[in-house]
Amino acid sequence: MTGYSEALIDHFEHPRNAGAMDDPDAEAFVTNPVCGDSMRIFLRIEDERVAAASFLTSGCPASIGTSSAATELVTGRTLDEAVALTREDYADAVGGLPKSKIHCSVLAAAAVREAVETWRKEHADAAAGAAS
Ligand code: FES
């Protein structure tokens, strides 16, 4: 795996928080339009904060490594902090990515945002329903 950092290779070979989560509070499935690789993320949300995260990714080492790093990065953060993380933050978390692989960190950023947005929408709808 030429061009990958030691951190990326470590995340790829020993993914953190890999696997589905039982009864998650939020989840999202995203596909990278460039290559077709995909990621499903699961979040446990408590008090507007990510209490736990896990993932299933079908893709290249860079997408699996950044998915793994993303679950560590978002855990403990507020939802605002989690959605503010960029693909550059996820790439930095694995020691950077080779130029040809920069697009691979898009999956993690998109999945986190979509999961949080879906959760917020569901809870806004629930709150609106409770108020009516
Ligand atoms: Fe598809 Fe990396 S080549 S995400």
pLDDT in single tens digits along all 132 residues of the chain: 678 999 999 999 999 999 999 999 999 999 998 899 999 999 999 999 999 999 999 999 999 999 999 999 999 999 999 999 999 999 999 999 999 998 999 999 999 999 999 999 998 877 787 766
Comparing CA positions, the residue from 115, 116, 117 lying closest to residue 41 is 115
Tokens 């960029």 sit on residue: 86
> What residue owns the CA closest to ligand 1's atom 3?
60
Residue 60: active-site member: no
> What residue owns the CA closest to ligand 1's atom 4?
104
Q: Does the predicted model carry a pTM greater than 0.85?
A: yes
Is 109 a pocket residue for ligand 1 (Cβ < 6 Å)? no
